[in-house]
Each structure stands twice: as C-alpha cells, then as structure tokens.
Amino acid sequence: MNNFLAALTLGAGYNSALVAIGATCLGVAAGVGGTFLFLRKRALVSDAVAHSTLPGVGLAFIIMVMLGGEGRSLAGLLLGSAASAFVGLLAVSWITERTRLAEDAAIGAVLSVFFGVGVVLLTVIQTMSSGRQAGLESFLLGSTAGMLFSDAVVIAVGGAATALATVLMRRPMTIVAFDPDYARSIGIDVPRIDLLMMALVMAVTVIGLKIVGLILIVAMLIIPPVAARFWTDRSSNVIWIAGLIGGSSGFVGSAISASAPALPTGPIVVLVCAAIFFVSLLAAPDRGVLAAVLRHRAFQRRVHRRQGLLALSRGEPIHDVMTLRVLSGEGLIRADGVATETGRSAAARAARDERRWDVARSLYQDTSLPGRYDGLTAIDTVLTRDEIAAIDREIGGPAALDIKGAS
Amino acid sequence: MGAEFVTLSLTPILIGVFAAIACALPGNFLILRRQALIGDAISHVVLPGIVVAFLVTGTTASLAMMVGAAVAAVVAVVLIEAIKRLGRIEPGAAMGVTFTSLFAGGVLLLEQTDTSAVHLDVQHALMGNLESLIWFSGEGWGSLLDPVALADLPVELPRMAVVCALVIVFTIVLWRPLAITTFDEGFARTLGMPVNLIGFTLVVMAAIAAVAAFDAVGSIIVIAMFICPPAAARLMTNRLSHQVLWSAAFAALSAVLGYVAAGYGPIWLGGDYAVSAAGMIAAVSGIVLGLAVLFGPHRARVGEAVGEG
C-alpha cells in the first residue's frame, strides 16, 4: 500500500515516475482521440490499425540492422510502425470502397493478415545473427521495465501533441462524426477529416506500443469514450470526460503496477479503465443501470398508487401486495386496508382526473391528446384551466364527485 | 517428398487444413451477418479461459484447456450482449470493451501465476506451434498403414479432424435455417424459426472451431481463416453454396501454401531457418483475398459497375 501511495505521488523512483507521466499523457490522448472514432461508430478500426503496426516494427528493425545500426532505436521502430499502420488503414478503406465487403470484414482481414506478416518477420529476426533482437516481442503487450529517459520523452511529447491536435480539431471532427452530409454541405472536406481522425488514432497507437502494447492499445481508445458516454449527452463533454478517464487510468494503473512485482503496466492500465467503465455502466445518472432500475421502480410505484386510488374510489378491495405497501406507506390507507381521510380525498382526485380524461379523449379525438393518456399524467398538466372547466361542465359539475370525496 | 516429409510436415499440413476449413465454414455466415469480428473477440478471450482452466485444474490437459476456453467464449458473448443492451452501446464498441478487458485480465493472471514450468504463454496463444506437431513414428508413406505408428499421431490431428467434421455436418444439417436467417431475418421469423437460437448456435459453433484450432495453430490463423477465405469467396460468386465451397478451397489452399512457404521457402531462398507457419498461412490467405479484391468476378456491390467506382 505504501508502495502504491509512493507511486501515486511519483515518489517510487525515477523510472516509475517516467512511466506514470508517459501513461497519463497516453491515456488522455487515447481517450480524447478515441471519442471521435466511437461517435463515428468505427471503434474497431483502431483494432486493425493497432495490429498492422507489427510488420512495420519488424521491417524497421531489419532495415536499421542492414544499414549497420543497432536496430533498437525507439524512434525508428515507431516510424516503421506508423508507416505500416498507414498501409493497413489504406487497405481497410480500399477493401470497403472497392468491393462489396463490409467494413468489419475488411478490419478483420487486415488485422489478421498484417499481424501474421509481422509474426513471420519476428521469426525472421530471431534467426538474424546481428542486432539485439530480444525486445521486439515486448511491443505485443508493452513493457515499461527499463524504459529510457529518451523513450519517456518521446511518449510524453507525442501524447501531449496528439491530445492538443485533437482538441484543436474537435469542431470539424464532431460535425463529421454526427452528420457527414451536413459537414459536406458547409464545406468541410469529410475524407480529409476522416483521414485526420485516423492519423490521430495511429499516433496514439504508435505512442502506446511501448507502454500498453499493440494488442491492448485498442482498449485505451475504445473504453474511455464508451464509459464517458454514460455521464453526459453532450459531445463536447464526452471528449473531456474520456480524456480524464483515460488519463486517470493511465496514472493509477502505472502506479499500481509500480507498487508490486509481476503487475505488467499495460494490462493493469486497461483493467483500471475497465473498472471505471463498469462503475459508469452501473452508477451513471440517467444512462446507468442503477438509475434505470430506480426509474423503473418509481414508475411502478406511480402505477400501483394510481390503480390503488382508483380501486379505493370505486370501493373495490385491494389484494395486490405492492399496491397495499405503496398506499399504506404514504398513509393513504390504514393497516386493515380502509382508506384514511387523505386517502379518500386522493382517491376522489384520481377518480375525477380519470373521468376528465375519458371526456377529454372523446372531445379531442382528432388531436394528439389521446396519445398522451397513459393513466399516470394528471390532466391539468396537459390542458388549460378553461379546457378543464369545459370538460367539467360536460361531466356535470363537481357536485357529482363530492358525494364520495372528502366533505 | 519422402520419409522426412511424412515425419515433419504431413501432420502439421493436415492439422492446418482441418483448422482452416473448420474456421472458414462458420466464417461465411458471420461475414454475411456482419459479425465478422466475433472470431476476433473469441480468439482474444480464449487466453483468460485457458489460464483460469489451468489455475482451477492445475494441469494443461487439452480437455481442461478447451472447456475453459469454451466457457470464456460463451461468457464473452453474453457480456457483449449485456453491455450492448444495458448500456445501449453500438455492437463494435461493446465488443471492443469486452474482449480487451478479458484479454488484459488473462495476461495479468498469467503474469501472477508461475506458469514457467508448463507450456503456457501469450506468444504460444497467439502464434500456436504448428511446426512442433511432428509425427515421430511416421517413417514414410507406409506408416499410414501401420496401426502402431498411427497410434502415435499427435493428438491434435484426430481432434481437429473431428471438429472439422462436426462443423461440416453442422453446416449441412442447419443449411436452410442458417441461410434464411442470414439473408432475411423477418421472413425467417414468419416461418416460425427460432432466429435468436440459430444465431447463438452459429456463434457457439464458431467458438468450438476457434477453440480447437487455437490449441493447435494459435489465434492468428483462427482470425485470418474466419475472415479471409470467406471474404475472398464472397467476391467470387453470388450463390451461397458456391461461396462456402470456394471458401473451403481457399482455406485449404492457404494452409498448404502457407506451411510450405514457411517451412521450405526460406531454404529455397538460401536461408537456414524456417519462419512462423501460422504467420505465413495468415499472410497467404491475405494474398488470396488481395487477388480476389483485384480480380474477383463479383467484387463490386450490386448496382455498381465492376472496376472504377
């Protein structure tokens, strides 16, 4: 626990502090960048992009070794991965545009084929005598052990630049995500914005290779926006919240991973993110599961209350357990099921409302009013006082109701 | 093509072919239903499945692994549905959330437990180990008739053959309901077909194929074979029956060519070592798909001219 607190305050050593800063920047960039992908309903394109980085890493290594270098320069490997991710991206859009295959088939084809080629290249590298080949596998699942200062700088600067670019371009990207046709009509170059969106995703993927690895970086792009979506209906807020969720899972995840051995950074960061997602799914106001359950319960109570009151007004016995509980809970009936004073007046009001609705529905047949009748809405929230007065004249005045109502 | 081929290459090629066909058949329907990435999701969640199975049983016996993987696949499918409905999230994102989280959990469990003594690691899960499935007693083509030598076949071969046969039988028996629910769900409902049940059965069948194939050849081949051969076949014909046959042929072709290219290609090119067969099979299936995209007779959408546009 102390280790965890130390790591949270960046006090667990030079290396883990670097990792924490890098992971936080990456998380923010991924959350913000992934939002547009999610809004555009193309979340899984990032999976294809991530997997197609692998052959680039392998090729870059081979080329660097052939040129006489050491082959492990992070910048060089990332450049290679970006190039092949771009080719993968082109392949996805080429297949979807040129043929009748759907985008999901194109994504699956590109990710498996590129990944397969990457694995072939990795086995080629394993047989090469020159170069320190060990370590390329770490791009699969990320590896933060022994991260160099220069690596951390690359990640932090790249993450910050990506996040900044996303924030600057958020207006056109939001419009394209929601309504490409409208975007075109106001002069936005939709293909170019789409390309930019993908370039940001590519940047996040490439930067994240070192920390999270290419298999799990998809999670950092998808989970934060999905979780953020629960908390708000405004796209501008989704962006900030997703960035916040991504950043904090990067930070907390790297702190947890630094606090004990055998806790690999990438999976821990993703699991923290998944935990935030589940909390959001359950507890978010309005869109969360808990809120939906509460809303349903409240609705149930209203139905039972209304039906119970109508039964009271007609003098019918009530047998339903929930109705009895609701009514006695509000002090409308006594324990033996007989209506109290307030219960009787409430029942009379409910009965009058119901009769007014009956009349109103036949009076206003050709309007939208009958559609608003759900047995719960009070009529005076729908009609004006004058209209209700007209209905009451139709019914025959309140005198008829006063017989049963409170005197 | 002598005794050495029988010992070293015959069983891996056969296993590869069976695995490829077993995955490609359900892949046809998954692609038409726009569920192509279910295969991707399943092959990711297999990892936590086998790790948990190992932790529970303490063995790496194939049966335990396969049960664990199958359970994980079903859990993942249920989770995806639950997230989709409870959170009102689009299917792709729900899938992305589920399989990445489960995969991360699997990697973490793997790191936390001491599995160094047993053959259980992420790389194996991804890349399989096709090359190691050697038939030691197979000393020549004559061994195919020798019951003692046949008893020594790698256990993966009969298992994969059984699963492949199972998938073929499933496809033939359920052909009509599968085809009708895939193309016209509303019509299938009016016929009184249990549409959801058929869809779920298809996914379970895909999961069984994926889990069995994964054990022998790793998840890359599984994902590639779910998608590439059926996608290529889709560009060759408009008839579903022809498409399924094309896809089986493409799958078998990819497996054979890929294995040969991986095992013998580098040697022909002057290298000393073979490269990953699983990766090469995926790459070959990609080449097949690429050719189909360029030249397939039915590559354009209906109503569009073949070629530009």
> What residue in B sits closest to A51 (Cα-Cα)?
B220
What is the average pLDDT across A3-11? 70
Question: Per mean pLDDT, which range of B49-58, B127-136, B234-243, B273-282 is the poorest?
Answer: B127-136
Cβ–Cβ below 8 Å for A223 and B280: no
pLDDT at A134 over 60: no
> Is pLDDT at A403 greater than 50 in this prediction?
no
* Identity of the residue in A42, A268, A281 whose CB atom sits nearest the CB atom of B86: A281
Mean pLDDT of A91-109: 90
| Measured distance CA(B230)–CA(A311) in Å, rounded | 63
pLDDT of residue B233: 95
pLDDT of residue A10: 67
pLDDT tens digit string along B265-277? 877 776 767 788 8
Backbone conformation region of residue A71, classed left if phi is above 0, alpha if psi is from -120 to 50, else beta: left
A244 touches chain B (CB under 8 A): no
pTM score, whole prediction: 0.84
**pLDDT value of residue A272:** 95
Q: Which residues of chain A lie closer than 8 angstroms to B276, CB-CB?
A: 119-120, 122-123
Which residue from A141, A226, A264 is facing B89, i.e. has the nearest CB? A226
Q: B245 versus A33: which is more confidently predicted?
A: B245
CA distance A359 to chain B (A): 39
User: What is the reported pLDDT for A404?
Assistant: 46
Determine the distance from the C-alpha atom of residue A70 to the mean position of all C-alpha atoms in its chain, rounded to a whole number: 42
Could B37 and A44 be called an inter-chain contact, meaning their C-beta atoms sit closer than 8 Å?
yes
pLDDT band at B308 (very low <50, low <70, confident <90, very high): very low
Give the closest of B93, B101, B228 to A270, CB-based.
B101
Q: Which residues of B are less than 8 Å from A281 in CB distance?
A: 83, 86-87
pLDDT of residue B241: 94
Q: Does A127 touch chain B (CB under 8 A)?
A: yes
Confidence of residue A52 (pLDDT cuts 50, 70, 90): very high
Q: Do A100 and B298 touch (CB under 8 A)?
A: yes
Partner-chain contact A222 B86, CB within 8 Å: no
Largest CA distance in chain A: 103
| Residue A140 touches partner B, C-beta closer than 8 Å | yes
CA torsion B93-B95-B98-B99 (nearest 10°) is -120
Please give the C-alpha separations between residue A266 and each of A153, A249, B94, in angstroms, as whole numbers: 18, 11, 20
Confidence of residue A405 (pLDDT cuts 50, 70, 90): very low
Domains of chain B listed by start with CATH number: 3-295 (1.10.3470.10)
- What domains does chain A contain, in order, with CATH numbers? 2-264 (1.10.3470.10), 290-402 (no CATH)
- Closest-CA residue of B relative to A38 is B93
pLDDT at A407 over 60: no
Neighbours of B274 (CB within 10 A): 19
- Residue numbers of A between 12 and 41 with CB closer than 8 Å to B: 38, 41
> Would the CB atoms of A108 and B44 count as touching at under 8 Å?
no
pLDDT, tens digit (0-9, with 9 covering 90-100), for A166-200: 888 888 888 888 888 999 999 989 888 888 888 88
How far is residue B225 from each of residues A195, A407, B220, measured CA to CA in Å?
29, 80, 8
Q: How confident is the model over B30-36, as a mean pLDDT?
A: 89
Q: Which of residues 57-76 of A touch B (CB under 8 A)?
A: none
Bridge partners of residue A333, in order along the sequence: A339
Q: Which chain B residue has its CA at the smallest distance from A283's CA?
A: B87
pLDDT at A389 over 70: yes
Tokens at B142, concatenated: 């004559």
Residue with tokens 């054990």: B215
Cβ of A119 and B220 within 8 Å? yes
Q: Chain A residue closest to B230 (CA)?
A: A105
Average pLDDT taken over every residue of chain B: 85
Mean pLDDT of A229-237: 89
* Each residue's pLDDT tens digit, A322-375: 888 888 888 888 888 888 888 888 898 888 888 888 888 888 877 777 777 877
- Residue-wise pLDDT tens digits, B217-235: 888 888 899 999 999 999 9
Answer yes or no: do B36 and A104 touch at CB < 8 A: yes
Res. A163: pLDDT tops 90 = no
Instruction: Pick the range with the lowest mean pLDDT from A266-270, B181-185, B199-203, B270-274.
Output: B270-274
Mind telling me how many Å the CA of A126 is from chain B's nearest CA?
Answer: 9
Given this model, what pLDDT does residue A198 score? 87
Model pLDDT, residue B307? 47
Pick B231's closest partner by Cβ from A98, A109, A268. Answer: A109
Q: Which segment of A3-17, A211-225, B53-67 scores lowest on mean pLDDT?
A: A3-17
- d(CA B35, CA B299) in angstroms, rounded, equals 20
- pLDDT, residue A243, reads 92
- Pairwise CB contact (< 8 Å): A271 & B92: no
Pick from A45, A38, A82: nearest CA to A208: A82
**pLDDT attached to residue B230:** 95
What sign does the CA torsion over A141, A144, A147, A153 have?
positive
Per-residue confidence band for A1, with pLDDT thresholds at 50, 70 and 90? low
Paired tokens of B227: 């998608």
Q: Evaluate if residue B303 carries a pLDDT over 70.
A: no
- pLDDT, position A402: 47
Cβ contact A43–B96 (<8 Å): yes
pLDDT band at B58 (very low <50, low <70, confident <90, very high): confident
Q: Provide the pLDDT for residue A12.
A: 64
Q: Has residue B173 got a pLDDT over 80?
A: yes
